[in-house]
Amino acid sequence: MSSTESIIARCQALFDDLDFTSAREWKAAEAGRRVVGYMPIYVPREIIHAGGMLPLGIVGGGEQLEVIHGDAYYQSYICRIPRSTIELGVSGRLDFVDGMLFPSICDVIRNLSGMWKLMFPEIYVRYFDVPQNYTDSIGGNYYRNELQELREGLEEMAGIKITDEALRRSIAIYNENRRLVRQVYEYRAKQPWKAPAAEVYLLMRAGLVLPVEEHSQMLQDWLAAVEAEDRPMRDNCRVVLTGLFCEQPPLNLIKSIELSGCYVVDDDLQLVTRWLTADVPQDGDPLENLALAFLHHSESTSAKYEPDEKEKGQYLVRTVQRTGAEGVIFASPSFCDPALLDRPMLQHVLKAANIPYIAFKYAENSGQMQPIREQAGTFADSIKLWSEA
């Protein structure tokens, strides 16, 4: 049986590898294989998978990538993820990627889809729109047709057919992967000292670049390994991290939060791995099933419209209650419109529910952790004092 250490070491290697060697090797292993990249927040990976292709999550360049040409495309008041993504593109690091999907998350990523069309005309590029209307016959119908268009686009790109049968199989495989991801999250919420936030993060990051079957195996192995190991419990408070659904924080930032006395018991990092919150039915029309799952059983986040004013932000309160968290940390990338515009509303909801919170901003290449350590440490101390009072 592998230890958590060896599993995480592999994840770390995947995380550090900006050339995506593992995905390149997967592609090279068989003639005709295709890789489809996607950005946050969510794409229906089942459709890509059902076409025998590898969905590859691309979430910027992290803190190690030197961005030169990417900066030439963006003003200083725009977040960093599109710059580093362009840098990955123009530096040839994505030259094995056959298609790119740009989800509907904000205007920056939306516009990047058109930039990609102009800059890389030889590959399949799609802006993947999702409904902001949650009525089955309206938003559901629209979305089912969008999924069908995506399916046809991928078929044409790869010169294959994506059958309903293959889609159902892929749905089953991803259902299992999501179940395992949820298990990891539940495990951590119960025993956060045994599942450090940075390790869970790396586990999920691996899911962006590995074939899903391999990732599911990895999650199973980790769950078994972590159960068998013992780690000391510290007197930390328990927090939920929110606002990190797109541009990723440096790994050091996640570590710093935990080192400063806050166990992370939930977060909105790598939402794509658990976007759908319930199993997607495996019989019937697979696209319809995916569409309805999106409408009625998907995560809430700042990039989605909340039609019911009374429901605004309640998902955060429920997460806090479900995980036994004692506070919320709002961490968002600088210049992130969805997160920063939403933040005051979410904070009002938390205030009404008596849940303490702090807030700060980061960039994927933030170099200074000291202010964050101080803030998180103070937050942990105040929560402890507050709960003892």
Q: Which residues inside 12-41 make contact with other proteins, applying CB under 8 A?
A: none
Binding piece for other proteins, criterion CB under 8 A, among 132-140, 159-167, 180-188, 289-297:
132-140
Q: What tokens does 273 get?
A: 């791995």
C-beta separation of 77 from 104 below 8 A: no
* β partners of residue 362: 333
Computed on alpha carbons and rounded to an integer, the radius of gyration of the chain in Å comes to: 20
- Spatial separation of the C-alpha atoms in residues 325 and 339, rounded to whole Å: 21
Binding piece for other proteins, criterion CB under 8 A, among 3-11, 176-184, 280-288, 338-346:
338-346
Contacting other proteins (CB under 8 A), which of 3, 24, 119, 288?
119
Sheet containing 99-103, strands listed edge to edge, beginning at the edge strand earlier in sequence: 54-57, 35-38, 99-103, 124-128
Contacting other proteins (CB under 8 A), which of 337, 353, 382, 384?
337
- Spatial separation of the C-alpha atoms in residues 47 and 65, rounded to whole Å: 31
Q: What is the DSSP letter of 262?
A: E
Site string for other proteins, 256-285 (x = CB under 8 A): ------------------------------
Please count the other Cβ atoms lying within 10 Å of the Cβ belonging to residue 370: 8
Sheet containing 357-362, strands listed edge to edge, beginning at the edge strand earlier in sequence: 262-266, 237-242, 327-333, 357-362
Binding piece for other proteins, criterion CB under 8 A, among 13-21, 129-137, 173-181, 218-226:
129-137
Site string for other proteins, 295-324 (x = CB under 8 A): -------xx-xxx-x--x------------
Tell me how far, at minimum, the Cβ of 63 lies from other proteins, in Å.
Answer: 7
72-86 burial string, b = 16+ CB within 10 Å, else e? ebbeeebbbbbbbbb
Using CB under 8 A as the binding rule, whether residue 160 contacts other proteins is answered as: no
Using CB under 8 A as the binding rule, whether residue 104 contacts other proteins is answered as: yes
Using CB under 8 A as the binding rule, whether residue 77 contacts other proteins is answered as: yes
Tell me how far, at minimum, the Cβ of 350 lies from other proteins, in Å.
Answer: 12
Q: How many residues bind other proteins (CB under 8 A)?
A: 74
Binding piece for other proteins, criterion CB under 8 A, among 28-36, 101-109, 193-201, 234-242:
101-109
Tell me how far, at minimum, the Cβ of 387 lies from other proteins, in Å.
Answer: 25
Residue among 41 and 166 whose Cβ is closer to other proteins: 41
Tell me how far, at minimum, the Cβ of 180 lies from other proteins, in Å.
Answer: 33
Contacting other proteins (CB under 8 A), which of 9, 28, 68, 278?
68
Contacting other proteins (CB under 8 A), which of 38, 42, 49, 146?
146
Tell me how far, at minimum, the Cβ of 301 lies from other proteins, in Å.
Answer: 12
Longest Cα separation, the chain: 66
Please count the other Cβ atoms lying within 10 Å of the Cβ belonging to residue 135: 12
- Spatial separation of the C-alpha atoms in residues 70 and 115, rounded to whole Å: 12
Residue among 68 and 224 whose Cβ is closer to other proteins: 68
Q: Where are the beta strands (DSSP E) in the chain?
A: 35-38, 54-57, 99-103, 124-128, 237-242, 262-266, 327-333, 357-362
Taking CB under 8 A as the criterion, which residues in 346-365 touch other proteins?
347-348, 361, 363, 365
Q: For residue 13, what is the enclosing H or E element?
A: helix 4-16
Using DSSP's 3-state secondary structure scheme, residue 332 falls into strand
Contacting other proteins (CB under 8 A), which of 137, 159, 230, 388?
137
Residue 235 has φ and ψ, to the nearest 5°, of -85, 65
Using CB under 8 A as the binding rule, whether residue 120 contacts other proteins is answered as: no
Q: What tokens does 223 get?
A: 């769950």
Taking CB under 8 A as the criterion, which residues in 362-381 touch other proteins?
363, 365-370
Tell me how far, at minimum, the Cβ of 38 lies from other proteins, in Å.
Answer: 14
Using CB under 8 A as the binding rule, whether residue 75 contacts other proteins is answered as: yes
Q: Which has the closest alpha carbon to 366: 52, 63, 57?
A: 63
C-beta separation of 240 from 299 below 8 A: no
Using CB under 8 A as the binding rule, whether residue 255 contacts other proteins is answered as: no
Contacting other proteins (CB under 8 A), which of 10, 24, 117, 182?
117
Amino acid making up residue 177: N
Binding piece for other proteins, criterion CB under 8 A, among 9-17, 41-49, 334-342, 375-383:
334-342
Amino acid making up residue 319: T
Using CB under 8 A as the binding rule, whether residue 76 contacts other proteins is answered as: yes
